[in-house]
Chains A and B, each alone.
Chain A
């Protein structure tokens, strides 16, 4: 399993101080390799990861598997036309992607 650096631990701590992920339906926009999703994936009910780079999404599948996150979907699509109904998610995340 990936060992978190001090910076990653600080990031995770602040993230959980700001948002409640327990049982939340989450959309991660520009998720990249899923590094950020690993911070909250175990608590969320389900996470949809969106990214234009299909190689990054393949990396995310690997990273989330290593992190023990199983409730997620990967979408190779643009953030400007999301394939989801209105008022569907509890939380949306732009992780270094806005």
Chain B
């Protein structure tokens, strides 16, 4: 990751004037999920929210987020980038059934899995609401804008 960030630094132009604030014209955008597991939740029509549990990582012993953060720290300490702005939003995927959610996780989430506890809690929640519940996966996403610095001796 550090090599990729080093290369991004190399091919980026340095801003030719001080960028006072967003939206920025020159720099690096990093968008990815925040630390923490995505959560499986059921919403009822009257606003009740039932937390069913997390989508756990398949990558035991490897934390992609930590690796990315360490890489960013390394290039920042080398004087290549600084964080100019950071914002976050919630990404929500909505499903019509537990089966649909389970199938999507199996086929579309390469690093996450629906474990038995969360799957059971999801089914119980949907059963209890008897057709009046909506299953979702919710995760927090962060967008950061990094300014290129010139001091990379």
Chain A residues packing against B (C-beta within 8 Å): 5-7, 10-11, 14-20, 24, 27, 29, 36, 79-82, 84-98
Tell me if B11 and A92 are in contact (CB < 8 A): yes
Q: Which of A10, A17, A18, A24: most chain B Cβ within 10 A?
A: A18
Known: A79-B4, A80-B3. A94 touches B29 (CB 8 A): yes
Chain B residues near A6 (CB-CB < 8 A):
92
Given contacts A15-B31, A79-B4, A93-B29, contact A88 B11 (CB under 8 A): yes
Cα-based distance from A96 to B31 in the complex (angstroms): 5
Evaluate contact between B13 and A87: CB separation under 8 angstroms. Answer: yes
B93 touches A7 (CB 8 A): yes
Q: What is the bound-complex CA distance between A14 and B29, given in angstroms?
A: 11
Return 28 A-B CB contacts under 8 Å, by A number.
A7-B93, A10-B91, A11-B91, A14-B87, A14-B89, A15-B31, A17-B23, A19-B22, A19-B24, A19-B145, A29-B4, A29-B8, A79-B3, A79-B7, A82-B11, A86-B10, A87-B12, A89-B12, A89-B13, A90-B26, A91-B25, A92-B12, A93-B31, A94-B30, A94-B32, A95-B31, A98-B68, A98-B72
Contact at A18–B8, with CB atoms within 8 Å? no
**Distance in angstroms between the alpha carbons of A93 and B22 in the assembled complex:** 16
Is the CB of B143 closer than 8 A to any CB of chain A?
Answer: yes
A83 closest partner in B (C-beta): B11
- Minimum CB distance partner of B85 in chain A: A18
> In whole Å, how far is A82's beta carbon from the nearest beta carbon of chain B?
5
The chain A residue with its CB closest to the CB of B142 is: A14
